[in-house]
Chain A
Amino acid sequence: MPISVLVVDDSAMARKMLIKSLPPDWDIEIRQACNGEEAIAAYRQGRADVIFLDLNMPGIDGYGVLETLQAEDLNCFVIVVSADVQPQARERVMKLGAIAFVQKPVDAAKLEPVLREYGVVV
């Protein structure tokens, strides 16, 4: 069965860049969300084994999504993808249960080691 991948970013451009950077031979079903609310809804419907999550979004931001998911047992891998390069941003999301913090601009070389480390891609 394909893995459900959820790409969350308010920028359509950023979502495109991320999807383009995913391993080409990865058996996945991709869904997109353009804000935190949509992301949480998709997670609750069980449509997110792996979430690529932007931090700075209008409405519920990436931190808010992580807090909600953590309160609901966080039954998925969350990889934060952000333009925020402050070390504190990384610390905050790792505390909230993200498995990795990838700096924008994202590319395949940045994503692959993370996906391999967690065995989501073999």
Chain B
Amino acid sequence: MSLNLLTEEQNEALQEIANIGMGRAGRSIAGVFDEFVELSVPRVREAGLDRLPAAVADLIPDETLTAVRQGFFGRVRGEAIVVFGITGCRDLAGLMGYGSALEDCEEDELLLDVSNVIVSACLGGIAEQLNADVCFSAPSVLASHVPPAGLFDRTSAAPADTGALIVEVNFRLERHSFACSLLMMLPADSMGAIRRALDDFLANF
């Protein structure tokens, strides 16, 4: 269900901008795993707070999810949340050469690192192309192995008019692949700022 947070043209622009950001994330991930990363084209979807668990469950059909959050500040501020399904966690552990049974702290550390790479490359790239400076807080684990509905209990502090832009992220490496979703939680005033920034960007073409 679309909320029409962005027009079709704004969505298309954001998607291409996110694509460029994910290219950078891909290079960083390739560096971590010392393997070529095949990139996919990120799609941008939108959801209101109430629809978020359903939207995430749609993209990641796993029973339990783990999420890492990271705040971002600047002309556009909000919270970035990277969501991994249990399959994605296992795939990542496999990539790092861990056995199937990861200690919780090892898994957290791995997810924090990967999330940080994705968030800073993607949001940093978006901010740069929209001529907006952005800085990030340190990443922290929002929830570990919870059902989709439980994931957002702890974001109840977010204003009710917060909208979310969801960027699908898929990285395929030669031997493995992993998928996760990047949610950009944007309060209404930031959603306005991102719309204006996208319009400025679009005015160039």
Contacts and interface: CB of A to CB of B under 8 A. Distances in A.
B72 to A, nearest CB: 21
Contacts of B129: 105
A85 B15 contact: no
Nearest to B37: A86
**Main SS of the interface on chain B?**
helix
B19 interface: yes
B15 A11 contact: yes
Contact of A56 (B12, B13, B30, B40): B40
Contacts of B205: 13, 16-17, 20
Interface stretch (B20-28, B90-98, B182-190): B20-28
Given A11-B15, A11-B19, A86 B30 contact: yes
A19 B26 CA distance: 26
Nearest to A18: B205
Contact of B39 (A16, A17, A20, A56): A56
B16 interface: yes
A10 to B, nearest CB: 6
A65 B131 CA distance: 34
B37 A104 contact: no
Nearest to A61: B38
Interface in B126-148: 129
Contact of B23 (A13, A57, A88, A104): A104
A84 interface: yes
B5 interface: no
B19 A86 contact: no
A13 B41 contact: no
B204 interface: yes
Nearest to B41: A56
Given A20-B204, A57-B41, A86 B36 contact: yes
Contact of B22 (A11, A13, A83, A89): A83
A86 B20 CA distance: 12
A13 B16 contact: yes
B25 to A, nearest CB: 10
Interface string B4-18: 000001001101100
Closest 7 CB pairs of A and B: A83-B23, A13-B16, A83-B20, A16-B205, A13-B12, A88-B36, A11-B16
Given A13-B13, A56-B41, 12 more contacts: A14-B19, A56-B40, A57-B41, A58-B41, A84-B23, A84-B26, A86-B26, A86-B36, A103-B23, A104-B16, A104-B23, A105-B20
Interface of A: 10-14, 16-17, 20, 56-58, 82-86, 88-89, 103-105
